[in-house]
Amino acid sequence: NAGVTQTPKFRILKIGQSMTLQCAQDMNHNYMYWYRQDPGMGLKLIYYSVGAGITDKGEVPNGYNVSRSTTEDFPLRLELAAPSQTSVYFCASRETDRGRARAQPQHFGDGTRLSIL
Amino acid sequence: AQTVTQSQPEMSVQEAETVTLSCTYDTSENNYYLFWYKQPPSRQMILVIRQEAYKQQNATENRFSVNFQKAAKSFSLKISDSQLGDTAMYFCAFMKASGGSNYKLTFGKGTLLTVNP
C-alpha cells in the first residue's frame, strides 16, 4: 500500500546546485503531477504528465524539468537552484476516468521540503 | 482559466460544534469536479470529500458535508461534531473534467481551522 512515494523528505541546497526530486507511484496511474507549496499558500502546478513519454508545463515551470520514461516514475529536476525555489514540493497521481464515474481525486505523496541557501 | 477563492484565512471552533468553511470558484466549464483536501501539521494532503458538478445531491462523508450551489459557484464544507484531530489547513480545489482535460487541480489559498478543547 505504498501509493505515491517521494524522496528525499528534506533537503538543503546551496545556490547554483542541482538535484532531482524523486516520485514513484505503484497504482498504475497514467496522470502524474508536480506541485509546489509556498508558505501560507495553496499548491501551484509545476509540470504534469498524462502518460509515459508525455509531459507538459503547468503554471510555474521555470527553473524545473521533468521526464516520464516509465508509468511509475516522474522525477523533477532543479538545474540551478535559486532561493525562490525554497518550497515544499508535492507529487501526485491520478487514475484515468472511466465514463461518467465518480470523480477520481489526485493522490499525494508526503512532500519534500527543500531549502536553498 | 479557473480561480478558487477561500475568503476565510483562519477560523476556530469549539470541540463538538459545527463549522462551515467557504469556497467560491470561477469557471466557464460545465463539467468539473470539486474537492476539499485537509493538510494537518504533518503536511500530508488528505482527501476529505468530492463533488461531481453534474450531481445535484450534496456529497457527505460521515461528519463532513458540502453545500454545492452550482449557479452561485459556491462549494462550502460543513464539519459537524468537530474534533481536535480536525485541526488543519483546508484547501478547496477545482478540477476540469471535460474532454481533453489534464485533470490538474486549481487550489484556493486555504483556511486554517483550529478546533479548541
The answer to whether A78 and A64 are in contact (CB under 8 A) is yes
- Grid cell listed for A45: 502546478
Q: Which of residues 18-77 of A touch B (CB under 8 A)?
A: 31, 33, 35, 40-45, 48, 50, 56, 58
Which pLDDT value is given to residue A97?
73
Q: Which residue among B43, B47, B108 places its CB closest to the CB of A105?
A: B47
Q: What is the pLDDT of residue B99?
A: 66
Domain B3-116's class?
A: mainly beta
For B71-91, b where at least 16 C-beta lie within 10 A, e where not — what string?
eebebbbbbeebeeebbbbbb
Contact A42 B33 (CB under 8 A): no
pLDDT digits (tens, 9 = 90+) for B48-82: 999 999 998 999 999 999 999 999 999 999 999 99
Amino acid at A96: T
Provide the pLDDT for residue B70: 95
Buried b (16+ CB within 10 A) or exposed e, B20-32: ebbbbbeeeeeeb
Q: Given B35, B54, B104, which is nearest A105 (Cβ)?
A: B35
Q: Is A100 on the interface with B (CB under 8 A)?
A: yes
Q: Give me the amino acid identity at A24.
A: A
Please indicate whether, in this complex, the C-beta atoms of A110 and B43 are within 8 angstroms of each other: yes
Q: What is the pLDDT along chain A (117 residues), one digit of tens a residue?
A: 679 999 999 999 999 999 999 999 999 999 999 999 998 888 999 999 999 999 999 999 999 999 999 999 999 999 899 999 999 999 999 988 766 567 788 999 999 999 999
Contact A31 B105 (CB under 8 A): no
C-alpha gyration radius of chain A: 14
Mean pLDDT by 10 residues, chain B (117 residues): 93 97 95 95 93 93 97 97 97 86 89 97
Alpha carbons B101 and A33: distance in angstroms, whole number: 13
Q: Which of B36, B56, B58, B59 is nearest to B105 (CA)?
A: B36
Q: Which residues contact B40 (CB under 8 A, 6 or more apart)?
A: B46, B85, B87, B88, B89
Q: Which residue has the cell 478546533?
A: B115
Q: Which domains does chain A have, with CATH numbers?
A: 4-96+106-116 (2.60.40.10)
Q: Report CB contact under 8 Å: A50, B102.
A: yes
Instruction: Mark yes or no for CB contact B110/A42 under 8 Å.
Output: yes
